[in-house]
Structure 1
Amino acid sequence: MLKKIVFLSFLTLTYAASTAQTKTIPTYLDDSKPVAERVKDALSRMTLEEKVGMLHAQSKFSSAGVPRLGIPEFWTTDGPHGVRAEVKWDEWDQAGWTNDSIVAYPALTALSATWNKKMSWNYGKALGEEARYRKKDILLGPGVNIYRTPLNGRNFEYMGEDPFLTSKMVVPYIQGVQSNGVATSVKHYALNNQEMFRHTSNVTVDDRALYELYLPPFKAAVTEGDSWTIMGAYDMYKGQYASQNQYLLNDILKGEWNYKGVVVSDWGAVNNTEQAIKNGLDLEFGSWTNGLSAGTKNAYDNYYLAQPYLDLIKSGKVGTKELDDKVTRLLNLAYKTTMNKNKPFGNVASEDHRAVAKQVGEEGIVLLKNQNNILPIDLTKVKTIAVIGENAIKMMTVGGGSSSLKAKYETLPLDGIKSRFGKEAEVTFARGYVGDPGGEYNGVKSGQDLKDDRAPEVILNEAVELAKKSDFVIFVGGLNKADHQDAEGVDRTSYGLPYNQDNVISALAKANKNLAVVLVSGNAVAMPWIKEVPAIVESWYLGSEAGNSLASVLAGDANPSGKLPFTFPVKLEDNSAHQLGEYPGNKEELAAGKGKDQKNPINITYNEGIFVGYRWHDTKKIKPLFSFGHGLSYTTFEIGKAKADKTTIGQDDKITFTFTVKNTGKKAGAEVAQLYISDLKSSLPRPTKELKGFEKVFLNPGEEKEVSITIDKAALSFFDADKHAWVAEPGDFEALIGNSSDNIKTKVKFTLK
C-alpha cells in the first residue's frame, strides 16, 4: 500500500511541476471533482493499448493499471471466508511468504446458519480489514449459489437453499467488506449448482425458477448491497458460457438491474473473444494460454480480451463502444479501491477478528437433536470425557479448493475441548477411524501427518473400549476438505458419511448412552443411526476458532441458536433434484460420454423448477431428517399469537405482523422467528410456504419481546414467465410464523385486493 501511495503522490507532484504555469492538476487526479468527470478525463487520456491492457490479467491474481497515468493495478484474492495465501506471480504454487497468514473465519454455511444480519456485517468488516491489510483490492466472494443438491462439493462456500435468507445475509457481508475500500465479487453468476461438469455443462431451467430461486441473491447483492464487482460462472446457460453470456450479463444484470459495476470472469471461464466483447464481460482472469501459440512474449497477451481484441479493433471488425464501457467501469472501481485515499489501513489477526470468528462459530452451530437434554455437558456428573473421531484432530482451514487458507492458527476440536473441560474432567482421545491422513491441499501445507497403519478393527476397538469407561463420549466426524468431500471442482460420490463412520457411531452408541455426535461438514449427510444417538450437533467448518466455538457450545457457555440454512433429507432420493431433475446430467448423454470437453457439453435440466429444498419437502409432505430453519436451544421459547395491522391490503400497501417471543426456560438464549407466506389459491403451482421474513431475538430467562415483521406485495408475488413480470394475484394469503419450516406456531389470514 505504501508503494502505491508514494507512487501516486510522486505522479501528482510530477504533473503539478509540469503544469506550474496554470497551477492545476489533471481532473482525473483531482479529488475535488465528481467521479464521473474524473473517469471521463482519464478515459480521454488513455491510448487504445492502455485501455485493452486494463481488461485482462497480468499475473495469476492481478490486472494492469495504467502506469503512465498513475492508475494502479488491481490485486484480487480468493477468500469467501479468509484471505488466500500469496502465490507466485505466474504459478499456483505458494510464494513462501512468512507474513501472509490470517484468521480463518467460519465457512459461509455457518455464517448463514446464524440467521443474524448484524453478525454478517461484523464478519464482512473483519474479513475486509484483513484483505485491506494484505493490499487486496477485490475479494473473490461471497458465494450465493442456491443449494440444489447435497452432493455439490462447493456448498460449504454458499449460503443455503433459500433465496430470501441468502439475500438478507449477503447484503451486510458486502457492505462490511466494502467499508474497507475492498470490492466484493459475488459469485458464481449464475446456475453453478454443482461442481461435476462445471466447465462442460449447459443448464436448462425455466424462467420462473431462474427468477424466483437462482437470481434473487445476486440481484440483492448488486441492487441492495452495491457489490462493486460480480463474478461469472463456468457453466453454460442458453448455450453460452456464463462469463460471456448475453442473457445473464447484458439482458438481466446490466439491463434489468442496471448494474454499473465490473463483471469479472471466473479463472479460465472465457473461451471466445467476440462473445467476451459483446456479452458483458469486463475483466478476464485465468484463461488457459501458454504464451507460445501466438508467438508472443507474454502469455497474457494471448487472453481473449488482450491482443485478439486489439487486432479486431485495429482491423475495423469491431468498434470501441464496448471497450470504453468496460474501461469506464474499471475506472469507477479504481476510484472506490486503488485510488481511494480515504480507505482505512486494515489489520490482520487482531483480537477483534478472533472474537468475530469465535462468535460467528458459536451462533452458527446448530443443535439438531438433544434427547434427555444430555447437552450441555454437566461437569458435576461428568468426570471423564472421551473424544473420538478423526475430525477432532484434523485441520480444516486447508483444502477444499480455492478457499484453502493459510491460517495463523487453528484451534482443533480436541484442543478446544481439552482447554475448556480439562481442568474439571479427564479428556482422552481415540481415532475411531482413518479417513484422509493428508496434510497438503492446493499448495497449502497444514503440517499434519495423520497416517495410521493399524487395522480398522483395532482402531475401532480402541475407541469402543475408551467409550465404555468414560462418562461422556463426543464423536467428531463428518466430511472434510479432500476431493469428493467438501471441495471445489468435484462433487461428493455418496450422501452417506465416508470412512465407515456409520458403523463407528453405532458401535459407540452401544458402548455409551451419553453420546454426542458432532458433524463437521458443509453439507447434509445421511444418518441411519439417528435413533441410536441422543445428541447431534452440526458444527460446519468454523475456521481458526473452531475448537473454542464448539467447546463453548458443548459446555453451555454459549447457548446454541443456529438454524439450518438448508434441508437435511432422509435419503438422497427425497431431494427434488435427484427425484425429478437431472444430476449430474442427462442420463443418455452421460452414457454416451458427453461432458468430457467443451466441444461436447452435457445438458442438465432442472425439472424440479421452483420446488427446491423445503419448498419441495413441505409441499409434497416428505418428512425431512431435519427441516430448513431447524435448530434447538438449551432453553425453551414460546411464540405468541400473531396479529396483523390490517386484514385486507391493496397492491401498494404493506402489512405488519406482530407477535411475542418469550424465553420460558432458565437460560439466556436466542430464537429465530421465521415468517413464511402461503398463497391459498393461485393460478400457478406454488410451494406450500416461502420464507419472507425472520428476526433473531435474544432473551434472558422469563423475558418477552414483541416482534414485528412487515412485508409488501413483493413477498406475495410469483414470477410470470409469459408476462416476464412479477405478479401478486388478488386473493387470500396466510402468514405462518414459527421457528422452522415444519414447526409453525401461529397463523394469520389476510386478503390482497
Structure 2
Amino acid sequence: MRHIITSCLIAVCAMTANAQQTPVYLDDTQPIEQRIDDALSRMTLQEKIRVIHAQSKFSSAGIPRLGFPDFWTDDGPHGVRPDVLWDEWEQAGQTNDSCVAFPALTCLAATWNPDLAALYGKSLGEEALYRGKDMILGPGVNIYRTPLGGRNFEYMGEDPYLASTMVVPYIRGMQSMGVSSCVKHYCLNNDEEYRFNVNVIVSDRALHEIYLPAFKAAVEQGKAWAIMGAYNLYKNEHNCHNQYTLNRILKGDWAFDGVVVSDWGGCHDTDQAVKNGLDMEFGSWTNGLSAGTSNAYDNYYLATPYLKGIKSGKYTTKELDDKVRRVLRLFFRTTMNRQRPHSFLCSESHYEAARKIADEGIVLLQNRNNVLPIDRNKAKRILVVGENAIKMMTVGGGSSSLKVQRETLPIDGLRAKLGSSAEIDYARGYVGDVTGEYNGVETGQNLKDNRSADQLIAEAVEKAKNADYVIMVGGLNKSDYQDCEGHDRKQYELPYDQNRLIEALAKVTDRLIYVNVSGNAVAMPWKNKVPAIVQSWFIGSEAGNAIADVLTGDANPSGKLPFTWYGSLNDCGAHALKTYPGTWRNTDDKAAGADRIIDEEYKEGIYVGYRWTEKNRIKPTFAFGHGLSYTSFSISDLRQSAKEMTRDSKLTFTVTVKNTGTKRGAETVQLYVKDVKASVDRPVKELKGFKKVWLNPGEQQDVDITIDNTALAFYDETSSSWKSENGLFEALIGNASDNVTLKTRFTLK
C-alpha cells in the first residue's frame, strides 16, 4: 500500500553537499504553483531526470527525499487493467485487481447523454483510486474515419461535436476523484495497421475541424491533466514528440498546462523528445516497447542520454525544467492531493452505472412489424444462436483487455429474464475465436467445437423451425484483425460464415432478431430479410443483463449511432478515394523510428462520415444519429430567440417534444447547422447541438438548444484561424442526420 501523507507539513531529510542532514519542509498550505516552484528549486539534476521517465511497466519514480511517492498509471478507458509484474508482462497474481468492465466508449457515445459520461468517469475514477492508480490511460477520442479501424471501439465516433461533448464530463468525473485522465491518442490515430509507420497527410482545415476538436475540448473545457501522444507521424514527426501538434497547438494555442505522456514505446529520439513537447516517456525494455534488456529504464531517451546531453552542454535545463514543472503539477493534482476522496471497487453502484450506460447505449437499428420487444405471452420457445451469446468479451482487444469480477453473458441474461416463462434453447451457429486469453488473463471458457460450418448452420436452422423467437447474437470479437489494438479489420463483411447463417435462419422464421456485438459497422447484405436488428457494442460486465433489458422492453432503447453505417466500403470517403492504408516509401531519417514510412493522405478532407455521404448523395444502411424506440415521438413547433445573431451573441432554438406512443422513452433532439452561402466548400450540414429528453406516454416538453458563433465557424487556412462569415444560415432539427423534419433560417451579422 502506498504511503499516504497526512501531515500538513512534510518534513524529510535532505543530504547537503557537505553530507550534513538538513530537514526539508514543503508547506502544503501554499498555492500549487508556489509549491511547484519550491519543490523545483530543491531538486537535483538527477531527481529531475528521474521523474520524467518510467521506472517500471506502468509507473514512474517519485522523489523520496522530498516526500513525493511513485506515480502509477494504468489502462484503460473501460476499466482498470489487472496488475503485471514490475518489468514483465506476466500477471502479478493478485486477487484484488479484478474490476467492473464498463461499456466501450462507442457505447457511451451512443447514449448521447453527457450525464452518463460524467457517471462513467467518476465510477471508473473510484475504481482506479481504490486500486492505487494515479492516472488512467483514457479516454480515447480519435475520429472514426474507416469502419476497418481496429481500435474504433475505444473511441467516440465520427463526429467532432459529439465526441467533444461526451469527453468533457468523462474527464471531469474522473478527475474529481483525484485520478488523472490521459486523453489519447493525440492525434490522427485513425487506423491501427502500420500505426508505427503511418505518416498522415491532412489539410489544416480537416485537422482542426475534424480531428482536433475533441482533444481541444478535453484541454480547454475538461481541463485534462494529461495527454498521450499517438504512435503515428504527422509532418514526418512522431506524435509523441511533434513540434506542430505538441508545442505549437497543444501547449501554445490551447495553453495546455498538463503533461504529455508518450504511448508505450512511442518515443524514438532524445533530441526530438527534449525539444518537441514530450514530458514523460513510458514503455518497456530498452526501446520502450519490445527489445532490449530487463530493467532498462535508465536507457530511455529521456533518461541517461538526456542527462549526459545536459552535462556535456548539448542541452540546457530550460526544457527539462518545463517538463519537471508539469510533472510536479500532476503530482500535486494526484499523489500529493490531500483532498482525494475515499473510493471503492466492484461496488453495486458501479455495476448499476455500467448497466445504465449499456441500456441507454444499445441502438435499435431496425424493428419491422414490431417484432421487439419480445412478447412474453408469445415467447414459449426461444432459440439463441451464435458464439457471441456465450463468449466473454472483456478479455482481449489489446490494452483495454480486463480481468473482471464478473461478466454476464447474453444467453445468461436472457435466461435470467425469460427462463421462468419460456424454454430457452441454444445453437452454436458458427465458431470464431475459441482462445479466451490475453496477456495472461484467461476466461476459463472452453469454446472448442469441431463441427463444420454446414453442420452448425443445419443444427441452428432445424431448431429455429420450432422456435417462437430466434435471437442470433453475432458480430465481431476482440481478436486480431477484428476489433483489436494493433490491427485493422481485413474485410467489412461479418466473419465466420455468419452471413450464410443469417440468410438460412431468415428463411425459416419471421421472428428473427439479430444482435450485433461490435465496435464497428459491418456489411448487412441480408438487412431486408431480418425483422429486427440491434447494435449492442462491447458493453462489459453487464452485457447479458443489458441486452435482455432491451430485447424484453424492460429498458426502452434510446441509443443513437455515433457513426455512419455504410452499405459498402466504397460508400466511405477513405476507401472511395483509395487513400487507405497509404503508400510506402523508404526513409533514412533515424529519428522517424522506422526504415520505411507509409504516407496516408486524407484526401476526403473534412468529408468524414455523414458529411461524405450527404455530399455525394449516398444512402447509408443506417445514418449517423439513427436509433429507434419502442414508443414514438413528435418534434414540433420550432421557435428561435432571434432572427439575427452577432459573433458575440447566442441564439436559442426551442422545439416541443411529445411522446405519442404507449411507453416511457427518450428522444434525442439533434440540431444541425448549414451555411447557406460560403466562400469555401462546406458540408451539407453539421451537428452543433443535441439534447436527450425522457418522457412518459402523452407527456410533452420544450427543449432548448443554444448555439454561439463557434457553431458557424470554419477553419480558415489562409489566416490559420477560425472564421465565420456574415450571411444566411439554416438550423435543421430532427432525430437523425437523415431525418431532419424542422428547419428555420437566421442571419449572422
After TM superposition, the runs of 4+ consecutive aligned structure 1 residues lying more than 3 A away are 8-11, 13-16, 24-27, 293-298
| Greater mean deviation of Cα atoms: 68-77 or 471-480 | 68-77
**1:73: how far off?**
1.1
Find out whether 1:707 has 2:706 as its counterpart.
Answer: no
- The verdict on how the C-alpha distance between 1:426 and 1:244 changes in structure 2, with shifts beyond 3 A counting, is same
Is the CA contact 2:150–2:486 (under 8 Å) kept in the aligned structure 1?
A: yes
* Equivalent position of 1:750 in the other structure: 746
Find out whether 1:515 has 2:493 as its counterpart.
Answer: no
Find out whether 1:723 has 2:711 as its counterpart.
Answer: no
Q: Deviations over 1:421-444 (max 9, x none)?
A: 001111111100111111112321
- The verdict on how the C-alpha distance between 1:295 and 1:482 changes in structure 2, with shifts beyond 3 A counting, is closer
Give the Cα separation in 1 of the matches to 2:65 and 2:301. 24
Q: Deviations over 1:294-326 (max 9, x none)?
A: 999951110000000000000011100010011
- Please state whether the residue corresponding to 1:642 is helix, strand or coil: strand
* Equivalent position of 2:19 in the other structure: none
Find out whether 1:564 has 2:541 as its counterpart.
Answer: no
**1:55: how far off?**
0.6
Query: Please, which of 650, 653, 671 is the counterpart of residue 654 of structure 1?
Result: 650
Give the Cα separation in 2 of the matches to 1:139 and 1:345. 17
Q: Deviations over 1:122-144 (max 9, x none)?
A: 01100000000000001000000
**1:390: how far off?**
0.3
- Please state whether the residue corresponding to 2:515 is helix, strand or coil: strand
* Equivalent position of 1:179 in the other structure: 176
How does 1:349-748 map onto structure 2 within 5 Å? 349-586=346-583, 598-748=594-744
Q: Deviations over 1:521-559 (max 9, x none)?
A: 000000000010000000000100000000000000000
Q: Deviations over 1:594-648 (max 9, x none)?
A: xx97121110000000000001111211000000000000000000031111111
**1:31: how far off?**
2.1
Is the CA contact 2:135–2:182 (under 8 Å) kept in the aligned structure 1?
A: yes
Is the CA contact 2:430–2:457 (under 8 Å) kept in the aligned structure 1?
A: yes
| Greater mean deviation of Cα atoms: 106-115 or 30-39 | 30-39
**1:12: how far off?**
2.8
Query: Please, which of 2, 10, 13 is the counterpart of residue 12 of structure 1?
Result: 10
Give the Cα separation in 2 of the matches to 1:404 and 1:205. 31
| Greater mean deviation of Cα atoms: 53-62 or 442-451 | 442-451
* Equivalent position of 2:157 in the other structure: 160
Is the CA contact 1:161–1:612 (under 8 Å) kept in the aligned structure 2?
A: yes
Is the CA contact 1:581–1:605 (under 8 Å) kept in the aligned structure 2?
A: no
**1:653: how far off?**
1.6
Number of residue pairs matched by the alignment: 737
* Equivalent position of 1:320 in the other structure: 317
Find out whether 1:225 has 2:219 as its counterpart.
Answer: no
How does 1:218-367 map onto structure 2 within 5 Å? 218-286=215-283, 288-289=285-286, 298-367=295-364
- Over the aligned positions, Cα root-mean-square deviation in angstroms equals 1.9
- Please state whether the residue corresponding to 2:279 is helix, strand or coil: coil
Give the Cα separation in 1 of the matches to 2:668 and 2:601. 35
| Residue identity opposite 1:12 in structure 2 | I
Is the CA contact 2:56–2:86 (under 8 Å) kept in the aligned structure 1?
A: yes
| Residue identity opposite 1:718 in structure 2 | F
- Please state whether the residue corresponding to 1:519 is helix, strand or coil: strand
**1:457: how far off?**
1.3
Give the Cα separation in 2 of the matches to 1:14 and 1:172. 38
* Equivalent position of 1:30 in the other structure: 27
- Please state whether the residue corresponding to 1:641 is helix, strand or coil: strand
**1:290: how far off?**
7.1
Give the Cα separation in 1 of the matches to 2:318 and 2:603. 39
| Residue identity opposite 1:460 in structure 2 | I
Give the Cα separation in 2 of the matches to 1:626 and 1:399. 28
Q: Deviations over 1:566-589 (max 9, x none)?
A: 000000110011112511112x75
- Please state whether the residue corresponding to 1:176 is helix, strand or coil: helix
Is the CA contact 1:518–1:536 (under 8 Å) kept in the aligned structure 2?
A: yes
Is the CA contact 2:585–2:597 (under 8 Å) kept in the aligned structure 1?
A: no
Find out whether 1:83 has 2:103 as its counterpart.
Answer: no
Give the Cα separation in 1 of the matches to 2:555 and 2:208. 39
Tell me the TM-score normalized by structure 2.
Answer: 0.96
Is the CA contact 1:57–1:284 (under 8 Å) kept in the aligned structure 2?
A: yes
Give the Cα separation in 1 of the matches to 2:609 and 2:174. 29
**1:203: how far off?**
0.5
**1:264: how far off?**
0.3
Give the Cα separation in 2 of the matches to 1:125 and 1:419. 29
Give the Cα separation in 2 of the matches to 1:340 and 1:651. 40
Tell me the TM-score normalized by structure 1.
Answer: 0.96
| Residue identity opposite 2:685 in structure 1 | K
- The verdict on how the C-alpha distance between 1:295 and 1:719 changes in structure 2, with shifts beyond 3 A counting, is closer
